[in-house]
Structure 1
Amino acid sequence: MANANVGCSNVLNAIIKEYSKFISTDHCFKLAVTILLCGVTLIWWAYGGSSSSSGGDLADDKNSILKEADLQSLQTEDPSDDSDIDDNDDDDENKSQQTTSSSASSTIAAHPTNNLHKPITKCPTREKARAQGLVLYNKHWYNVSKFIAHHPGGSELLEQYLGTDITHAFHVMHRNPKQIMKYRKPVRGATEEEMEELLQRRNEVSQEMFDEYQEGVMTKSHAADFFNRERFNLEAFEKDAGELYEDFTKAGYTKPTFGFVAQKTALVLMFLFLSVLCMKCASSDDHQSIIATTPLSYILPGIFLGLFWHQSGFLMHDAEHHNLIGNELVNDILGWLYGTVFLGVNGAWWREEHREHHAFLNAFDEAGFKDPQMKEDIWIQNANLIPFYGQELIHFLANFQHILFIPIIFFAGRIGIVVDSTLTERKFRPWTILGNVFHVLLHYAVLSQTSTPIRVYMAGACQFAVLSLQLLGNHHIKPWNNIHSASEGNFSVWQILCTQDFDTPIWFRWFYGGLNFHYSHHLFPTISREYFPITTPRIRSLCEKHGLPFIEVGFVECVTGMVTNMNEVKKEFAKHGAGTLSLVYG
């Protein structure tokens, strides 16, 4: 115990000492290495900071939420004017859509593997309401045309749901739906004919979802527990799902306890401390130390550094979902701390992408991908995505994607996400720049404790790759479909069909950050992960009752499935003579 106390004291003293010698010439080399590895976002900032972006800074969400007076000013002037829709609006909209997507559509239609890019059945009620900027909520039409630009979740999300019944999706995606709708006045009530037509259309889309699920590349190889489409009833499911969510909110599951937050914060700091401690032990004068004389001198501290990033990512996820603290601004600040400073990933950039991931899970349209977090530029995980990969380099890499998949994630995944969070974020944000500086300083202080900073960093990056595999595994082998499936059908049904859980021992659940219970998270994003072990059995029962699949797989089985899926998609790509693949399989 005495040695441990001395070790702790030495570590703290060493960190303070390193900061005091920060500009010393003796440390220039280590500083350069640290900046190269951890500060890559700063190096690339000049290329990504020139134009505006849709993302927000720390308090963007809070500032973009309209106050009562603003909401009242957005009401339609005369509800009766909105009940009749000019057919010319429909013509203009259709012409615009045809113009913007004609080139992409022709490419998609020409590809024989893409059986989902087919014309969408027209729904007159939806077309008219969409042209007028209306959404249906609790059997009433609301005009949101002037509010779209102010939507805290981004204008694209609300635009996609125009003309549809947003009741269920709105409830589960917002923490206080009744308060939000309190100041909005409906244009008019929906007629029985409109309700019936929209319900019929949503049922049709639900059946399309089931068709794609059954035809999926990998879902046939898994036992889809409870899946029985003949037993499914959309209205009954929405009623039960809504009641289940009400039960969860009344039980207080949207608010984590202080003990849970403190425990997870302590876990993050513990791994950082253990990483530094191992480095100090490896560099000690005791040459008989096992850590100092073996590869453990960089593997062990690297693993703990990777776990520090790993668990920081989960807390960033909680904070950016506003599931960590009751105050939105505090959540955004914590998301910045755990994401930008600790993890090295721009928290504001991640928040914007993650919102789209939840709203447009595994979805695409004529122009390309709508789910940015499940899309990768260097491999093709679903046959329906083949038309969007036109580069010959990708065609060549697809020959070997089942072989390269895991090595790329392990050796380039960590650096890749750090670079991406800068290259695709183009709005100048002082807070982000400051966070990047703090990230570099923190990791300089940590990696200065070892004589092998590159090895330690790469060992940590390999450990961090496990997180990447986990997050991809939740959706990777699931169906991809046209975006209308998510917006015109049922939000929760699509989430269920595109998600799976990890079968994890109780003692190891901490490692997965609660996201092993992915059904709970994607069906009800406002629920705190602290309660996922409680909510998951009830969601499983909901799926069983309504004939929907509920799949749990082991981590190894999941990774094996992803690699097998890569191989199957590669063969599908080659079958139609795409790029250089035809040379191998033609």
Structure 2
Amino acid sequence: MGKGAEQTPAHVYTWEEVQKHSHKNDQWLVIDRKVYDVTNWAQRHPGGFRLIKHYAGEDATEPFTAFHPDQKFVQKFLKPLLVGELATHEPSQDSNKNTAVVADFRELVTHLRKEGMFVARPWFFGLHLAQILLLEGGAWLLLWLWGAGWGPTLLCIMLLTIAQAQASWLQHDFGHSSVFKKTSWNHITQRFIMGHIKGVSAQWWNHRHFQHHAKPNVFSKDPDIKMVKLLVVGNVQPVEYGIKKIKFLPYNYQHKYFFLVGPPLTIPVLFHIQSMHASITHGNWEDMAWVLSFHLRYFMCYVPLCGVLGTFALVIFVRFLESHWFVWVSQMSHLPMKIDHEKHQDWLSMQLNATCNVEQSAFNDWFTGHLNFQIEHHLFPTMPRHNYHQVAPLVKALCEKHGIAYQEKPMGTAMADVYRSLKNSGELWLDAYLHK
């Protein structure tokens, strides 16, 4: 129970009072005008304590609704944390958010729920899982039948890379609890795919990825734009670094060295170090066991065919290729968009400022795992991806009504924009570094 949970919920608070409770050891949230003290609960939150911290002292109604498909289930956790409600003269939204935008978006969510847009088709995801297993099995069968020559080995690597990339998109679906009605089944299936098929901690991924969804492209809150001092991104950070004469690397060349550090090293190096560190630090032995099962499976299957060193090289090369695929798909919808410090925007405006879509086609849908519909995915993270194309026209209409830019690009343009945005950020840094 949170601090103060035994107080009567008859207490009323102003936004000014709520906003004082936005510190590590004192965190309140407002959900549907109810005020909750989540200070102690944050450490037990299944989505990670940082996710709650990002909304401490704020209205969290939209993200709460977006992340929790079963509202009745989570109410039993919220009820003991209730400490009061907003005073009647206080608006429902904090920080001068656009009331009309918030109201229209909530109305859209209600409409989509009534239309069944949040109901998954299990067969759709079952076919994707079957595709992955066939690719994995086919890769091994290829080497078993024809031996580890150059031709079969290269084809094996290609099949395994495709399987790993498609597994990334599928575990992403289960991580957002968009397939099974019972959350436990989503968690078990995601651990199987993420741990056994991909060899990475599912819990680490969820805690990282949910932060990205909660505050996309917001410095200190979105881990996806924490570039470990390798890159400066957006239009704000480069100028800040330049004025302060911060130069860890020659950022004016980052659009060139990005190809040497971002796509090839994200999964084989960065993600695996972070995953192992998180699992060991938090004692997450279940995920560690799943990851161990991945390595045991690979070595049992491929050592007899390729030898120890050959199997090790096979895994590394597949990781290397998959990493390129993953980085371009994930970054082309976010890196060229607005990246800034916290602006306390409403959910719709925040997600649209940080996200763009890639044009729909059968190939784009398959290649990105339907993450070419990043806008719809960010607005409705628990919505099954096979419904994004039906929802997109309604989102476009809502954005047009309120003058919010809805960006959609060809895939080639979206990828080129990653290069252009890095080049522009580097030039902003150099100008500020030399002249300000």
Instruction: Please tell me the TM-score bracket, short chain as reference.
Output: 0.7 to 0.9
Name the aligned partner's letter for residue 388 of structure 2. F
**Aligned position for 1:517:** 373
Q: How large is the Cα RMSD of the aligned pairs?
A: 3.3
CA contact under 8 A between 2:351 and 2:378: conserved in structure 1? yes
Q: How far is 1:350 from its partner?
A: 0.6
Q: Which one of the candidate residues 382, 385, 389 is aligned to 1:526? A: 382
Match of 1:564 in 2: 420
Conserved 8 A contact 2:243-2:432: no
2:331 matched to 1:472? yes
Change beyond 3 A, Cα 1:384–1:174: same
Counterpart for residue 184 of structure 1 = 79
Counterpart of 1:360 (choices 209, 215, 234) is: 215
1:129 CA displacement = 6.3
User: Partner residue of 1:195?
Assistant: 91
Superposition map of 1:246-395 within 5 A: 246-280=110-144, 282-283=146-147, 296-364=151-219, 369-377=220-228, 378-386=230-238, 395=248
Task: Give the one of 422, 426, 437 matched to 2:276.
Answer: 422
Counterpart of 1:438 (choices 289, 293, 298) is 293
Native 8 Å contact 1:342 1:439 kept in 2: yes
Measured in 2, the distance between the counterparts of 1:347 and 1:84 equals 38
CA distance in 2 between partners of 1:275 and 1:393 (Å): 47
Please state how far the C-alpha of 1:124 moved relative to its aligned partner.
3.4
Residue 298 of structure 1, CA deviation:
3.2
What are the superposed Cα offsets for residues 114-136 of structure 1, whole Å, 9 maximum, x if unpaired? xxxxxxxxx73554565885433
Mapping for residues 7-18 of structure 1, pairs under 5 Å: none
1:550 is the counterpart of 2:406: yes
Q: 1:462 aligns with which of 300, 316, 321?
A: 321
Aligned counterparts of 1:375 and 1:304: Cα–Cα separation in 2: 32
Question: 3-state SS of the aligned residue for 2:91?
Answer: helix
Match of 1:244 among 78, 92, 108: 108
Per-residue deviation, residues 96-149 of structure 1 (Å, max 9, x unmatched): xxxxxxxxxxxxxxxxxxxxxxxxxxx735545658854333334444445444
Paired residues of 1:302 and 1:460 also in contact (CA < 8 A):
no
Match of 1:398 in 2: 251
CA distance in 1, matches of 2:45, 2:286: 22
CA contact (8 A) 1:301 1:456 kept: no
1:335 Cα offset (Å): 1.7
Q: 1:380 touches 1:569 (CA, 8 Å); kept in 2? A: yes
Correspondence list, 1:51-66, <5 A: none
**Superposition map of 1:9-88 within 5 A:** 75-79=5-9, 82-83=11-12
- Displacement, 1:259? 1.0
Residue number in structure 2 paired with 1:496 = 352
**CA deviation profile, 1:313-334 (whole Å, cap 9, x unmatched):** 1122122222232222222222
Task: Determine the C-alpha separation between the residues in 2 that align with 1:573 and 1:413.
Answer: 24
Distance 1:178 1:410, change over 3 A: closer
Letter in 1 for 2:91: M
Contact 1:133 1:143 in 2 (8 A): yes
Say whether the 8 Å CA contact 2:18–2:57 is kept in structure 1.
yes
**Contact kept in structure 1, 2:265 and 2:323, CA below 8 Å:** no
Aligned AA for 2:405? P
Q: Aligned with 2:324: secondary structure?
A: helix
Report the CA distance shift for 1:267/1:530 in structure 2 as closer, same or farther (over 3 A). same
1:438 counterpart SS class? helix
In 2: Cα distance, 1:507 partner to 1:535 partner: 20
**2:126 match: secondary structure:** helix
Look up the equivalent residue of 1:362 and give its one-letter code. N
Q: Secondary structure at the match of 1:396?
A: coil
Residue in 2 aligned with 1:289?
none
C-alpha deviation, 1:424, in angstroms: 4.5
1:235 equivalent in alignment to 2:99: yes
- CA, structure 1 residues 178+548, in 2 after alignment: closer, same or farther (shift >3 Å)? farther
Q: Distance in 1 between matches of 2:242 and 2:210?
A: 24
Distance change in 2, residues 1:270/1:574 (3 Å): same
Residue from 521, 541, 552 that aligns with 2:397: 541
Aligned positions of 1:107-118 closer than 5 A: none
Q: Secondary structure at the match of 1:135?
A: strand
Q: Distance in 2 between matches of 1:337 and 1:401?
A: 37
TM-score, normalisation: structure 2: 0.85
1:521 alignment partner, SS class: helix
TM superposition shift of 1:276: 2.1
When residues 277 and 490 of structure 1 are mapped into structure 2, their CA distance, relative to the original with a 3 A threshold, is same
Amino acid at match of 1:518: Q
Residue 55 of structure 2 is matched in structure 1 by 161
* 1:139 corresponds to: 33
* TM score, norm. by length of structure 1: 0.65
Amino acid in structure 2 at the alignment position of 1:492: L
Secondary structure, counterpart of 2:370 in structure 1? coil
Runs of 5+ unmatched residues, structure 1: 1-69, 86-122, 204-233, 285-291
1:410–1:180 Cα change, 3 Å: closer
C-alpha contact 1:282 1:450 (8 A) present in aligned 2: no
Give the CA deviation at 1:440.
Answer: 1.1
Amino acid at match of 1:422: M
Tell me the distance in 2 between the aligned counterparts of 1:264 and 1:437: 24
Distance in structure 1 (CA, Å) of the matches to 2:368 and 2:386: 12
The one-letter code matched in structure 2 to 1:269 is: L
Check the 8 A contact 1:135/1:161 in 2, yes or no.
yes
| Cα distance between partner residues in 1 of 2:6 and 2:241 | 40
Contact 1:304 1:460 in 2 (8 A): no
Q: Distance in 1 between matches of 2:22 and 2:227?
A: 31
Conserved 8 A contact 1:140-1:189: yes
Using the TM superposition, give the Cα deviation of residue 514 of structure 1 relative to its aligned residue in structure 2, in angstroms.
1.6
Query: Quick one: percent identity of the two aligned structures?
Result: 20
Q: Secondary structure at the match of 1:479?
A: coil
Give the AA of the match of 1:434.
A
2: CA distance between counterparts of 1:406 and 1:190?
Answer: 50
Quick check: 464-473 or 303-312, which moved more?
464-473
Check 1:456–1:240 CA distance in 2 against 1; reply closer, same or farther (3 A cut).
Answer: same
